[in-house]
Structure formats: structure tokens, C-alpha cells
């Protein structure tokens, strides 16, 4: 079946602009994660959605970052007033405790954000 998809694949923006990144998880997956992968920094957890529970926002680096998940499916990560240090690859992953190997996360291809 279809995997996790993300759009756009690449985004170039000017400093100070707002951007929205989209993630379509695997159908039926209840958990959705956002990560940031910066050059030489590894994978940084941003936010986690699980079903109808309140999201775990503990990884969001500042109040310029926010995310929502509508209808328990598609998620949008919004970065307001972008800064050059926001440049990174933003990865989305989904998983489901009820399907496939337990605990496995399935990753999307990522959105490469460049802030000029």
C-alpha cells in the first residue's frame, strides 16, 4: 500500500516568511511524528500525535513552530517567521500499534527546507 508522503519535497523561502509542511500518514496509522534532521545534528524529535490524545509538543524548539493533525490523518507543520537556522530536512513518520510489526515507524521522504 501507499507509504507516508510529504509535500513539498523542497521548499526555499526567505527569512521571515511563514511555511507549511504537509504529511500524509499511512492510512489507519494512529501515531504521527515530526522530526528535524539538520546537517551533522542527527534526528531531532519535534512533536508526536497519538489518536485523539493531546499531542506531545515537548520537542518544538520555539513558539514559531506549531503542528496540527486534522481528523486523525493529515498533519501540517507550520513555521512562522522562518530563520536561517530552521533550514533542515523535516521528516514525518507514522506508526500503528495494531498493524504491522509493533513499534515500527514508517518514514516519509522528507521536506528539505532552505531559508535564505
Partner 1 sequence: GDSVTQMEGPVTLSEEAFLTINCTYTATGYPSLFWYVQYPGEGLQLLLKATKADDKGSNKGFEATYRKETTSFHLEKGSVQVSDSAVYFCALRGGYQKVTFGIGTKLQVIP
Residue 108, interface with partner 1 (CB under 8 A)? yes
Size of the site for partner 1 (CB under 8 A): 23
Residue 50, interface with partner 1 (CB under 8 A)? yes
Report the alpha-carbon distance of residue 81 to residue 32 in Å, rounded.
25
User: ∠ CA 61-89-11 to the nearest 5 degrees?
Assistant: 105
Q: Binder to partner 1 among 45, 81, 83, 99 (CB under 8 A)?
A: 45
- 110: cis peptide before it, omega within 30°? no
**Interface positions, 59-88, toward partner 1 (CB under 8 A):** none
Residue 20, interface with partner 1 (CB under 8 A)? no
Amino acid at each position: 500500500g501507499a507509504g507516508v508522503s510529504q509535500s513539498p519535497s523542497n521548499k526555499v523561502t526567505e527569512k521571515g516568511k511563514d511555511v507549511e509542511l504537509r504529511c500524509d500518514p499511512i492510512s489507519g496509522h494512529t501515531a504521527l511524528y515530526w522530526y528535524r534532521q539538520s546537517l551533522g545534528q542527527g534526528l531531532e524529535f519535534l512533536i508526536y500525535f497519538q489518536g485523539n490524545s493531546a499531542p506531545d509538543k515537548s520537542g518544538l524548539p520555539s513558539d514559531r513552530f506549531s503542528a496540527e493533525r486534522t481528523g486523525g490523518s493529515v498533519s501540517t507543520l507550520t513555521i512562522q517567521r522562518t530563520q536561517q537556522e530552521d533550514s533542515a530536512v523535516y521528516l514525518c513518520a507514522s506508526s500503528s500499534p495494531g498493524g504491522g510489526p509493533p513499534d515500527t515507524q514508517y518514514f516519509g521522504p522528507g521536506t528539505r527546507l532552505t531559508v535564505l
